[in-house]
Each structure stands twice: as C-alpha cells, then as structure tokens.
Structure 1
Amino acid sequence: MLARLFPMPSHSLMLLIVWLMLNTTLSLGHILLGSVLAIVIPLICAPLRVPQPKIKRPFKAMLYVLVVLTDIVVANVQVALLVVGPQRKIKPGFVAIPLDLTDVLPITVLASTVTMTPGTVSGELSSDKKWLYVHVLDMPDNEQDVIDLVKNRYEARVKEIFGC
C-alpha cells in the first residue's frame, strides 16, 4: 500500500524540499500543497520510468572517472597547443564508431565521455544504436586510431562497469 502511494519516495521528499525552498515560507498552505505535489507528481511519472542497468563494478567506475579526468586534462593541453600553436593544421572530420553496447545508459555514458573530452564531440547515435558518430577536431590519417581509442579506452571500461 505504501509503495503504491510513494513509488519514488526519494523523489517525493526532494520535491517537497525544493517546493518549500522555492516558496521561502513554511506556512501550512505551502506545506500541504507541496505534500500533495510530492505525492501526485511521482504517481504520474512512475509509469514512465525505464529500468536502468545497475553499476556492477563501482570500483571500476571510480577508476573510469579518474581515467576520464586525466584524459580531459591531457586533451585540454593538446587542443590548446593545436589552436594557439605555431602550426594551425587542424584536420576536422567525422568517424563512425561501431558499438558493442546495447543499453541506453552505458551508451549515454560513452557518448558523454567522448563529448567531455576536448577535441571530440558525439554527433549522433544511429537509429539502431549500433554506431556512434563522433566529430574529431584533429583527425589522424588513420581513422581506425580514433575507433580503437574509443573502443579500447572507454567502451571496454563502460562494458565492465555495467556488466554488458
């Protein structure tokens, strides 16, 4: 009974807290209206929830964050040197990366990682979710190098984290 009334209790609590903070008063009317909204909104949204894969290896996830942060710092320096350096021979291009991932959340994590790393942007995910199109600021002569980097450095780790 209680689980049906509060399908997402943490969301209900957060909605109530945010509602009261936005109204800046603790009057009975605001508390009651906030409570009603905190119950009704999750009830309406509960059927829209999509089950997400769980992180199977949290330690690997922490290591992944460190790898990505390191790559972001290194890529920032590389892009800065490329843009303001004496030789501005930038060769932009797109590369299609075949994906082994199938779930939406791991694909989103991979695409976000690519986008957060300076010099690359995730452009599009194919409708069948088998290809990620990535724009590269300075495309190497062999586009397979970019594919191998994304697949071996990022996708393989994301697969481990989510147990795909």
Structure 2
Amino acid sequence: MRAEERRQAICDSLKAAHQPISATALAARFSVSRQIIVGDIALLRAAGADISATPRGYVIQKSPSGLLRQVACRHTAEGMEAELNAMVDQGCTVLDVIVDHPIYGQLTGPLQLSSRYDVAQFIARCAQADARPLSDLTEGIHLHTLSCPSEDAFRRVRTALREMGVLLEG
C-alpha cells in the first residue's frame, strides 16, 4: 500500500470509529511502525484533517450531540477523578479540559470521556506516565467543555460539582 493510500485508509478508519484508535492499533492494522502512523497523522493534520489526539488514541471530531456547555472548576490533581466521575455520572461527555496559560494562552486537551470506565482508564494512564494535569499550570483552575443530553443533566453536573466544592462560580 502506498503512503497516500494508507493515509486515506487511516482517515476512513477514524471516520468510521466509534471510539479513539491508538497509533499502535493503526500500526498493526497497516503493518507499519507506530512512528510511521504518527508521521502520517501529522501530514493529515497539516493537510487540514480534523484529527485530535486524545489520551485513548486518535479521533476525527464529530459534531457532539446534545447541548454544549462549559464549567469552570478548581481542585488539586487528587480531585480529578471525582470531578470527572461527577460529570459522566450525569450523562454528560467531558469533551476537553482548557487552561489559560500566562505565556501560551489557551491550552486545550481533548478528553472524550463518557463513562466511569473512560475516566478510570484516563486516570490509570496518568498514573502510568507519571503525568500531571494541565490544571497544575494554573493552580487548579480550568474549564471543561461538556456535551450534555439536556439542560437538566447540566444542572445536575453543576450541583454535583458545587457540592464537591470544586465549581467556580461568578
């Protein structure tokens, strides 16, 4: 398979996927190295493909279903799992985390977390990589973009976060 054909096949695979696909899985599928896939993804992005790297792999962002809402929170790294679970427990998908860095401006990390399983996998990967959350850069202050099935679900998220003491309110 030629490189152009492989890159098109990668795009097709990501478009058809219902969950993120890791570079390792794509490498196995196309019988190339993981580094070749990383390069292919970079070239696809440079050509305008809307491919995001999430903690679970690559995705082509589909228009989120439901209502898009944002919440501002503040907590330590130790509170991250409880905060994320509070949001997915209400039926919302945590699309990303956003911090306002004093030098680089807005930094966004795609998450795509929809369940406690997703949250547990994310937390495990953070522990394995000894990685710190983006919110460590801003003394715990950050935003999350949520896709919520209803306004009621968003209200429940805000209530749960308020009760945990992590919701920042005006």
TM-score (norm 2): 0.30
The structure with more helix, counted as a fraction of residues: 1
The structure with more strand, counted as a fraction of residues: 2
TM-score (norm 1): 0.31
